[in-house]
Structure 1
Amino acid sequence: MTVDDRVLADVTVEVADALGEQAAEIFAEAMRRTLRDAVVPDDDGTVFVLTGDIPAMWLRDSAAQLRPYLALLGRDPGLGDTVAALVRRQSRQILDDPYANAFNRGPDGAGHQGDETAMTPGVWERKYEVDSLAFPLQLAHQLWRATARTDHLDDAFRAAADLVITTLRTEQDHDARSTYRFRRSDCPPSDTLENDGHGTPVAVTGMTWSAFRPSDDACAYHYNVPGNLFAAAALRDLADLARGPLGDEALAARAAELADELDAATRRHGVVEHPTHGRIYAYEVDGLGRHLLMDDSNMPSLLSLPLTGGTALDDPLYAATRAFVLSDDNPMYVRGATGDGLGSPHTPPRYVWPIAAAVRGLTSTDAEEKRDIVAALCSVNATRGRMCEAYHVDHPDRFTREWFSWADSMFCELVLDLVGYHVPGAPGAEVSGHAA
């Protein structure tokens, strides 16, 4: 799998003119590397997308890894074949197990087979995360919206979409209706669920339950707010597909009804009053009165809502939440020698994430701030020539995961945004002359 050399060369020149040679070099190599090293074609017309230095495919990561290529479909239509092949693979993986977050290339029994949950040989890890079901729906819609192609919307996609709705509905009443349990031995508390694998108590609210966060860390309270808003947005994308190319009004009605329920319940239970920032979204709630005020570096996050959750950049509730996220009131916000950024409980203290920096840029309305973020990411990661997972804000030579393909792709998406190429549905896409 490759990107058209002429297209990449032309775009790289635009990047160099706008952002400098260093940014252009890192961008061009990242765009080649993901397709060359992470995307593995299979004989069945699908692709397996390695997350990087772990030999497994995450539903979330794989969709995000291909996001920047969506912005170039207008220049290189052949990239749509790769995206379509990924959607076909994701549909089959969801049908294999809608509760799994990561899969093996084949049924070889690799990964966390010792976990106490309903593992199968084709599953690498079975940490149930709402976003794992939302990302494939969004990706399928983005491809159709950008190209009008429908070959990825096959019978497997229809069946997977139906199963996504069923699973999200089941998890609206986790305690009474769900059979999902998860326990892992000899691990940090963030890698397993309390209460004999059930998770911490929740009330029925209309939101949908998630065992783990997009970081693969266990939720403190199992209604993840950005995950629920993302699920609602992805279900609306599904309803759009169902009314259009799928021609299935019943599926459209089911998707739209659940989207409305999740959105309304999240706005009712997931919004809290902060003494400094006013009404903002919490990160997690339980419906019993407890909430967690923070944000995480992984998408979907509160910061990423305009990219994933159907929230407008100028929405006052988002603006207040964004101000909280980018302040010392957020326990994951860090200032240091290399600047400021967002960390995660998933990595050591004072480690900040390039993914979160890119999301900050992509959700900013200030072009100068976007350019500053690109420059900072290049400066910190130049010696590696690629984005890492996280680095120490005072000592950037200390980092985690040298090959983390998702971070490369988010950097590329921000770079493309700055030169006028946008992912379908992302802020600015409708007004860009380069929009796919």
Structure 2
Amino acid sequence: MDATTRVDVDELLPAALVDDLAEQVTQRAGERVGRIVARALRETVERTPTVRPDGSVFVVTGDIPAMWLRDSTAQWQTYLLLLDRAPALTDVIAGVLRTQFASIRHDAYANAFNDGPTGRCHEPGDNSDDPWLWERKYEVDSLAFPVLLAHRLRRAAGRDDLLGPDAHPAMRRIVDLWRLEQDHEGRSPYRFVRPTDERSETLDRDGLGTPVAVTGMTWSGFRPSDDACEYGYNVPANLFAARALDHVATFAREVFDDAGLAADAEALAAELRAAVEAHGVVEHPGHGRVWAYEVDGLGSTLLADDANMPSLLSLPLLGACRADDPLYVATRGLVLSDTNPWFHRGTAATGIGSPHTPDRYVWPIALCVQALTSGDEEEAVRVLRLVADCDDDTGHVHEGFHVDDPSRWTREWFSWADSTFCELALSLLGKRVTDLD
């Protein structure tokens, strides 16, 4: 491995392993699916990471030269399933965690970072001039995903020495920030203003966001799509945060010897769950008791689900609920129906999209999540073949494509989508990241 630039993909991910996995997938789902799996497994290892001299690892999200805390977790957690045959990947994933936790310590409100203080950014007019930040959209899930990756790496590797020096203070910071943001109106220092006419790209009221009441949930400025929340309490993000806090408590007790952090994490997790039960569950005339996607505590409710994780559909994959939980089953029925404004039916595909992409675009990530949470291997094969057939002969899994015309798509290279496709393919071989929970 080159300690200053790129990795040696053959050293980390032996060609024989990739060929074996691709062949097994081919036998189950067809040659086209197997080819995409072989390319995607290698490409994420070969093209996304840069290993720094201290062993930390910076990961680009694909065709955007920045590292998202959420995306980098999703990109690399699939490789946890391969550590028994590719043990050298352990140090790379540990290096990703070191960068994630160092980034959280640097600015826990930021969602995407540069590889150093380069000054590159999505929008120079944002109200932040920190040269380390690509973007400073505050999203609850950006803090939860690194904790999930740390938990699953610990389970996969069976080691407590992989987190690095920033993990403990970063987890303390996460708990403190989520508690502070339970009273966003009264206590939060966070503001986000972008010079734009697009409401999805900035926050109302000079960057404070739409009004919310104190409910016990923790506030988020933006969704996992990087679009502004319509209402400040994102329900799947809160349920995911509660599960991440369970992991923080375990780390605090078993690794950090910090009883105070463990108690604080457990108390906050209980508060978030109780608040979601009180404010985030609604009665729908056609689907019964379901989780809303967003609420404000003032009576406003958004019944929907977005393609990006954490979504309501993805909650079992995050350990936030069981797939047979009656509330999840009812919610699943709603979000996979026309009641969800971002659910699209077309001649090429049917599934969940996002207002982050053009109308009637479905996301392969959401299709794969739908299959992964179904528990049905035939559904997994169907979705793998569908996504492969809708790649527009590029060999890549795109961000989104039009449900009637797959030649219309977004993101030439989106590593998160590649990895989720591989995660679904590996589930056919009995390999599931949820087994690490």
Is 2:424 the counterpart of 1:414? yes
Q: In structure 2, which of residues 226, 229, 247 is the aligned counterpart of residue 219 of structure 1?
A: 229
* Whole-angstrom CA distance in 1 between matches of 2:297 and 2:319: 21
The residue identity in structure 2 corresponding to 1:422 is: R
Tell me the secondary structure at the aligned position of residue 381 of structure 1: coil
State the alpha-carbon separation in 1 of the partners of residues 84 and 129 from structure 2.
41
* 1:251-302 Cα deviation digits (max 9, x unpaired): 2111111111111111211000111000000000000111101000000000
Give the deviation of 1:176 after TM superposition: 0.9
Aligned partners of 1:385 and 1:211: how far apart in 2?
35
In structure 2, the partner of 1:148 is 158
Q: 2:395 aligns with which of 385, 389, 392?
A: 385
| Match of residue 356 from structure 2 | 346
2:319 and 2:127 map into 1 onto residues whose CA distance is: 30
1:191 and 2:201 are equivalent in the alignment? yes
| C-alpha distance in structure 2 between counterparts of 1:278 and 1:392, whole Å | 31
Task: Say which of 71, 96, 110 aligns to 1:86.
Answer: 96
Q: 1:139 aligns with which of 144, 149, 167?
A: 149
Check whether the contact 1:119–1:126 (CA below 8 A) recurs between aligned residues: no
TM-superposed CA distance for 1:382, in Å, is 5.6
List aligned pairs for 1:322-333, cutoff 5 A: 322-333=332-343
After superposition, the Cα gap between the structure-2 partners of 1:163 and 1:119, relative to the gap in structure 1 and judged at 3 Å, is: farther
Maintained 8 Å contact 1:84/1:151: no
Once the two structures are TM-superposed, the CA of residue 187 in structure 1 deviates from its matched residue by: 4.1
Q: Of residues 179, 186, 199 in structure 2, which corresponds to 1:169?
A: 179
Q: What secondary structure is seen at the aligned counterpart in 2 of 1:155? A: coil
Other structure's SS at 1:391 match: strand
User: Is 1:205 matched up with 2:215?
Assistant: yes
Counterpart amino acid of 1:270? G
Q: Residue 244 of structure 1: SS of its match in structure 2?
A: helix
Tell me which of 7, 30, 54 is aligned to 2:17. 7
2: CA distance, partners of 1:382 / 1:176:
50
Distance 1:119 1:265, change over 3 A: farther
5 Å matches for 1:357-376? 357-376=367-386
The separation in 1 between residues aligned to 2:143 and 2:39, in whole angstroms, is 30
2:113 aligned with 1:103, yes or no? yes
For residues 143 and 364 of structure 1, the distance between their equivalents in structure 2, rounded to whole angstroms, comes to 25
Residue identity opposite 1:139 in structure 2:
L
Query: 1:66: how far off?
Result: 0.5
Moved more, 19-28 or 7-16: 7-16
Contact 1:153 1:246 survives alignment (8 Å):
no
Output the CA distance in 1 between the equivalents of 2:178 and 2:169.
14
Give the match's secondary structure for 2:367: helix
Distance 1:387 1:116 in 2: 31
C-alpha contact 1:206 1:265 (8 A) present in aligned 2: yes
Confirm whether residue 246 of structure 1 aligns to residue 256 of structure 2. yes
Which residue in 1 is equivalent to 2:329? 319
Q: What is the match of residue 56 of structure 2? A: 46
The percentage of counterpart residues that share the same residue type is 54
With the length of structure 1 as denominator, give the TM-score of the two structures.
0.96
CA distance in 2, matches of 1:255, 1:405: 32
188-197 or 146-155, larger mean C-alpha shift: 146-155
Name stretches of at least 5 consecutive residues in structure 2 with no aligned partner: 1-6
Distance 2:407 2:146 in 1: 35
Offset at 1:112?
Answer: 3.8
What is aligned with 1:65? 75
Instruction: Give the secondary structure class of the aligned counterpart of 1:205.
Output: coil
Between the two proteins, the alignment pairs up a number of residues equal to 427
For 1:76-131, what per-residue CA distance to the aligned partner results, in whole angstroms no more than 9, with x for missing partners?
Answer: 22211111000000011001100000000010111046344344110000000000
| Structure 1 residue 71: Cα displacement | 1.4
Q: Pick which of 289-298 and 180-189 moved more.
A: 180-189
CA contact (8 A) 2:392 2:406 kept: no
Distance 1:148 1:119, change over 3 A: farther
The match for 1:395 among 391, 405, 416 is 405
- Determine which of 26, 31, 37 is the counterpart of 1:21: 31
Deviation at 1:240? 1.4
Q: Which runs of 4+ in 1 moved over 4 A?
A: none
- Gap regions ≥5 residues in structure 1: 431-435
Q: Is the 8 A contact 1:113 1:121 kept in 2?
A: no
Find the partner of 1:285 among 274, 291, 295: 295
Q: 1:274 aligned to 2:284?
A: yes
> How far did residue 246 of structure 1 move?
2.4
- Aligned partner of 2:45 in structure 1 is 35
Q: Contact 1:226–1:309 (CA<8 Å) still a contact in 2?
A: no
CA-atom RMSD in angstroms: 1.3
Alignment correspondent of 1:433? none
